[in-house]
Structure 1
Amino acid sequence: MSYSIRIEPDASAHDIYIELKNGERLSGEVKVTKQGTAIEFNQEPKEIILRRQASFVKRIFTTFYCKYIEVERMGSVFYFPVFRNVSITKETIAEGSGKLPWEDKQTREEGMAEKRNLQQLVGWASPPLSAPSKVAESQNLTNTFSLMSLAKHHSSGIISALDSRKRSKLANKMKGCRAPSPTISPQYSENESQWNPINGLIRFLVIFQEKMSRALNTVHTSGLPSFVDEGRFVMLPENLWFGPLKLLTLFKNFMTVTIQTLLRRLGNFGRTWSKIDDIKRVFLFPSKRAVYISENWKDDAFFGSQFLNGCNPGMIEKCTEFPEKIPEITKVYPNIKELIQNGKIYMVDYKLLDDVKEGVIDGHQQYLAAPIVLLQETDEGLMPIAIQLKQEPGKENPIFTPNDKPEAWLLAKIWVRNSDFYLHELISHLLRTHLLAEVFFFSIFTSLHDEHPILRILAATGRYTIPINVTARATLTNDTGFFMKYTAFGKAAQWEVLQRAFSQVSYKSLCLPDNLESRGVQNLTNYYYREDALAIWDAISEFLLKVIDTYYKDDHDIRRDTELQNFFSYTYHYGLQGKTDLPQSVETKAEAVKYLSMVMFTCSAQHAAVNHAQYDTYAWMPNGPTTMRQPPPKHKDLVDEQYIVKTLPGLAATLEAMSVSRFLSQVSKDFVALGTYVNAVSSDPRLRDSIKKFQTRLKAIGKAIKERSKEQPFPYEYLYPAGIENSIAI
């Protein structure tokens, strides 16, 4: 059999020699020529041996950087990713195209066996496909879920578990030996070494500390997705760590924000608010959008627009029935039922905050509300028409309207913004992107072989997610973190809210088109989040459809892909503890595309929508206070500016909230945009056309957003594709 060889770039002027290999069988070495190179070989090539012949002088002054080599025979293309300089010594390159389980039976089992071992080490037991119900019943869902313990017991486990070469055995890894770097890694950079002096020093100090103290155990929290409850990202296997540039960027951003906060503290030492305008004293480094918000936050139209295009755009829904929790609304708006029937009334309900334990800051009691907001679609925009600050109606729970005393109406809107802050950060942001992404990431990486085409595409989806999540849980949601020190939440209250919200997570709510339909907001005007998010969802779905069509002939192929089916099943049974209606398996190509689109969208665009606007939204504190120092007012006539100032958070909470939101909104220098993949993936013959078309469509979406922005005083660009990262990396 004769194979034709194509090398990118042209290698004919560099004295390059190649030979094909399958096991112990070799084709014999052939020189690459300009006229074309052919090799006789009676086996399918599994590896290619590459060598450059050059004199000493030529080696000093010239190099040849080879991108990849394609070996073709009768339409079958074998792809060998190189992406490095070719040396005079022989280098063996493994065939690097994506393969489904039945296309790669010989080398598949060893790699998957190690991944199953990894799953068992973190308590994910055996594959639940054979008897899902029995596995779910027998597995103790509150046992230790310990990625951190995994790191303690074999510090480089995931490196080998994700390594397509699989040369090291699990016994050796358990002794702490370092395995080779993976072919497809959660890290993006192909040239960046995962081991670096900073990581090495940190690991040494942490391991020494752990040997001198208690063992690090992490416990699954009931009623939530599986995740590392507490700990430090430095205890994770190296391959899941931040890269050096990411570490340096995080450190730089942290120091910048810390210095800025210190300057604000020094400049306001011993001072408090006497009027709302005093808050401008700490408004020192705002963005242009933050300045716009500080100038327009009192405006009803802008207040309404934030439910559509702010940092929490997924809560608003059409009001289709009379709101029984606000029975007195007919006294204020006698025509409310008619407006509801005509589809003009929308509602935002913060019932998840009802009866949540309140906390204390610096010895002072803090307060929560659980508002209900009614908004009317008008020619001027989406306008708030009524706010009730508690769920239960009553004389001491008045309905606030725009016809009330201006200060009373303003305070009611501030309470809504305070409640929106909680549900945005805990539910829309932490739960529905970060925690779910952690489950998707770990499940797909341990269920699919490294050469599986879906893993090759979705490898980028989990970059940095676990260390970011571990760091956040160690600084923001732990017992001494931000939510305990600077919000109105009492002890463990944030976990109660998360558990309530997780019980309501559904597959429909995670799939954007279904979500929009169920909320009845398909035709709501000026809903730019919906427009941009749908465009990106469609682009992702089209891309994944092309990938699925490339590798799967029909629905039967989807059903017989045991690795892909294990991903769905593991995600449901272990990652989500069987607490949602996400599919346990999929039967068709269309179902697979929808599910995988949901995963990619959640980990990229949806996270951008709820993350990128944080500093813009919260820099001006009254637009999103993190706590309230007085209870919701029972009597509207008592509210004046002094009442509002005494209710708003003090200087310390204000500065801390600004610092956190600024830190979380900054972009890292090793940012990797949606649709960008490592060379070994983007150059794969079976993937590269789909990737290029995906990138082209994303650019077109970006161009349309920029054109729209020219006409907007407050441009919505949080879903500009070039600004969306492939993964949750901050």
Structure 2
Amino acid sequence: MSNPDYTIYIKTADYKGASTDVSIYITFIDVNGKKSRNITLTDDIFGGKFEKGQTNKFPVSDISGLADLKFIEISRGIWGFGGNWFCECVWVVNEQVGGTPAPVYFPINRWLRQYVTLKIQKWDCSLPQNDASPQQRAKEIQEKQTHYVLDRKFPGVPAQVKDLPQQEMFTDHYQNDVLILSGASLGIVGNLAKVFSGDWKSVDDISNLYQTGCGFDVPQGRYRWDEDSYFAKQRTQGCNPVIMQLCTKIPSALDVTNDMLKPFLEGYTLDDAVSKNKIFLCDLSMLHSVPLAGVPLDKELVHPYALFYLNKEDELTPVAIQLFATTDKRYPHTVFLPTDGNVWKLAKMFYNNADAMVHQSSTHLGFTHLIIESIAVAVNRTLSMSHPLHRLIAPHFLYLMAINSLAITSLLAPDGWIDTTMTAGRDGVLDIIAHHFKVWRLDVEGTLPEEIKARKLDDPKVLPDYPYRDDGLLVWNCIKNYVAGVVNGHYKNKNDIANDFELQNFAEILVAPYPEGCEIKGVPGNGKFKTQEEIISAFTSFIFTSSAIHAAVNFGQYDEYGFPPNYPAFMNGKAPRDKSPITEADLLKQLPNKPMTVSIMTITRVLSQRATESLGDFEVNYTYDPVGVAALKQFNIELKEASAIIDERNKHRRIAYNHLNPKNIPNAISI
């Protein structure tokens, strides 16, 4: 057989229903507009080509006289099994003597439907005002708008996609290797939960659970749960490290006094310690009116304050907890202190239970999973796949809608895991999200440097040891530089931005009230992007939230929740009203019982799995244009440098913090 003139490579996407056995037709178009013959690529009689996740190679001949390729036209036949076909990418190698040997990439990332021919430009990356096929592009967006419809599934929370589009479903690989195996472990541990019954008899009794051969590692919280220093560390590197703020004034409802705290402030009065920036506050008073639902047990969700002091060794230590942060006289204002014995331990547990409700509802579910899904729907409704910003953001939506759909139908279902293992229950969790969404802003809570500044913790001299801030800012800057490389490479001036009608439609839908839009506050430009800086800020926030914030608040869950005294998802009975002495047995009675503990351990272990690639290493490659390729290459260089810095920092930390090391950050919210 003579040498081919060209070799065509075709990759079918790894989506459900992406395969086909019909013929595929391709025509080359060179930079001068000259066309090749129509090339027919067929499956063989045994099948096996154009299967999902597969790359096929086709040598072709009788094509000569073409200059460098600029476009392809691609379509599918109308006869055969497998209707629509989702092609990920086509690349072509010129095998002729004197030809350019480098592959020419034509990323498709689209469904090919009957009777439709797509014209795809090399790299397929252009602003809409520069697109060579504007009608095709507009029709594509119109079609996607029928599949990506905003739907607010619960009152007051960020909108999601109404029905899960086919291409957003889990791949078979992810379904089989991650979710089914996880489901199997849930079944095994579900049976284990039936074996364990009743309440815990001692702390050691809980620890025995890790010795049963059921596959549970000993969570980090087991070793330090009763240390005050670790209780403080949970505020700076636990799974909810976004609550603590510098205390510049003691809240009026917090009944602490100078005399009360004198033994813990190393000679300072409370007023002096506040003035010298040595007092830090956690304020969860927003939980005051949260409705409780779920298991019909006697329970109470507190709405606490906690005060921390930065000692002479620059270490945080808790000095006071008041479990009811309200002027409502129905609630006592008892202030619990580190010298209060077991009742102090119980106060810390009730505080952490309240913190856990904020973590699971607002910090985790509401403002990583749901807010990013809302943004993902907006992207798909307004930005063509050919848009450079769609290609930039697409890797960070992998499995997002699928995992959220699964969570809504299982964990968040009535009588589901949240109802049966969390104090707030389903209704309480949704209420917390809705309450926070009223005030949440992309340019504050969704922008790491501003979020830290709002809590007055941006100065390392004020709080020297804050791993979430320090490692997070490293990653933030890597992402910002990456986004800037793409944005500045495609938008040369303000006219490029103003004339990008897809981008402006996207900006508008982000801020528009539901049901027309996502109703997100604080979007730079407030519905109209005008500068490169505004675009860079917004897309940096989107990617950082999808990757780094989710990693920080998700992957430490088992280490925190896996040992109930450390960070209890559920507390039985009422919180302490006074300092009456209690025993360890009294503490244990208020913790989750054995079956509930096993359920909490199981789910948080599954949620703590990393099952996709690290930041910058994309499962699906969307970027082939020179601007994007150069930006991505530099991004990975900077991520590697950041990873080395964090590795070195961890050598000197009392407790290593790995959740924001780039090698441990997935690209997207996929679990």
Provide the TM-score with structure 1 as the length reference.
Answer: 0.73
Q: How many residues align?
A: 579
Change (3 A) 1:289 1:300: farther
Match of 1:521 in 2: 457
Q: How does 1:438-517 map to 2 (within 5 A)?
A: 438-489=373-424, 492-507=427-442, 508-517=444-453
State the alpha-carbon separation in 2 of the partners of residues 626 and 528 from structure 1. 24
Q: How does 1:459-608 map to 2 (within 5 A)?
A: 459-489=394-424, 492-507=427-442, 508-522=444-458, 523=460, 524-573=463-512, 574=514, 577-578=518-519, 580-582=521-523, 583-608=526-551
How much has 1:616 moved relative to structure 2?
Answer: 1.1
- For residues 100-158 of structure 1, give each alpha carbon's deviation from its aligned partner in whole angstroms, at most 9, with x where no partner exists: 11111x4233333342354367666xxxxxxxxxxxxxxxxxxxx2xxxxxxxxxxxxx
Match of 1:112 in 2: 138
Report the structure, 1 or 2, having the larger helix content: 1
Change (3 A) 1:24 1:678: farther
> Which of 642, 656, 660 in structure 2 is aligned with 1:715?
656
1:250 aligns with 2:179: yes
DSSP-derived class of the 1:340 partner: helix
Q: Is the contact between residue 70 and residue 78 of structure 1 (CA under 8 Å) also seen in structure 2?
A: no
Query: Which amino acid letter does the alignment assign opposite residue 210 of structure 2?
Result: F
State the alpha-carbon separation in 2 of the partners of residues 16 and 343 from structure 1. 69
DSSP-derived class of the 1:21 partner: strand
Match of 2:576 in 1: 633
State the alpha-carbon separation in 1 of the partners of residues 450 and 511 from structure 2. 20
State the alpha-carbon separation in 2 of the partners of residues 558 and 688 from structure 1. 21
- For residues 557-587 of structure 1, give each alpha carbon's deviation from its aligned partner in whole angstroms, at most 9, with x where no partner exists: 1222111111121122147643623231221
Query: Which amino acid letter does the alignment assign opposite residue 440 of structure 1?
Result: I
Change (3 A) 1:696 1:80: same
Query: Which amino acid letter does the alignment assign opposite residue 420 of structure 1?
Result: D
Q: How does 1:430-441 map to 2 (within 5 A)?
A: 430-441=365-376
Query: Which amino acid letter does the alignment assign opposite residue 119 of structure 1?
Result: Q
Which ranges in structure 2 are unaligned for 5 or more consecutive residues?
9-26, 38-62, 75-89, 97-101, 109-117, 263-268
> Which of 653, 658, 678 in structure 1 is aligned with 2:601?
658
How much has 1:329 moved relative to structure 2?
Answer: 3.2
Q: Is the contact between residue 332 and residue 577 of structure 2 (CA under 8 Å) also seen in structure 1?
A: yes
State the alpha-carbon separation in 1 of the partners of residues 626 and 352 from structure 2. 50
1:617 aligns with 2:560: yes
State the alpha-carbon separation in 1 of the partners of residues 361 and 670 from structure 2. 17
Q: How does 1:164-183 map to 2 (within 5 A)?
A: none
State the alpha-carbon separation in 2 of the partners of residues 287 and 518 from structure 1. 42
Identical aligned pairs, as a percentage?
26
> Which of 122, 126, 133 in structure 2 is aligned with 1:99?
126
State the alpha-carbon separation in 2 of the partners of residues 454 and 615 from structure 1. 35
DSSP-derived class of the 1:354 partner: helix
State the alpha-carbon separation in 1 of the partners of residues 7 and 549 from structure 2. 48
How much has 1:506 moved relative to structure 2?
Answer: 1.1
How much has 1:264 moved relative to structure 2?
Answer: 5.2
Match of 1:190 in 2: none
Query: Which amino acid letter does the alignment assign opposite residue 647 of structure 1?
Result: Q
Change (3 A) 1:529 1:243: same
How much has 1:714 moved relative to structure 2?
Answer: 2.5
> Which of 309, 313, 317 in structure 2 is aligned with 1:383?
317
State the alpha-carbon separation in 2 of the partners of residues 644 and 550 from structure 1. 60
Query: Which amino acid letter does the alignment assign opposite residue 324 of structure 2?
Result: K
State the alpha-carbon separation in 2 of the partners of residues 407 and 533 from structure 1. 35
Query: Which amino acid letter does the alignment assign opposite residue 400 of structure 1?
Result: F
Q: Is the contact between residue 317 and residue 519 of structure 1 (CA under 8 Å) also seen in structure 2?
A: yes
DSSP-derived class of the 2:308 partner: strand
Match of 2:56 in 1: none
1:26 aligns with 2:31: no
1:336 aligns with 2:270: yes
- Cα RMSD over matched residues? 3.2
Change (3 A) 1:644 1:679: closer
1:672 aligns with 2:620: no
State the alpha-carbon separation in 1 of the partners of residues 294 and 406 from structure 2. 24
How much has 1:384 moved relative to structure 2?
Answer: 0.5
Q: How does 1:81-480 map to 2 (within 5 A)?
A: 81=106, 94-104=121-131, 106-119=132-145, 145=151, 220-227=153-160, 236-248=164-176, 249-263=178-192, 265-266=194-195, 268-269=196-197, 271-284=198-211, 290-333=218-261, 335-359=269-293, 361=295, 363-378=296-311, 379=313, 381-392=315-326, 396-404=332-340, 406-480=341-415
Provide the TM-score with structure 2 as the length reference.
Answer: 0.80
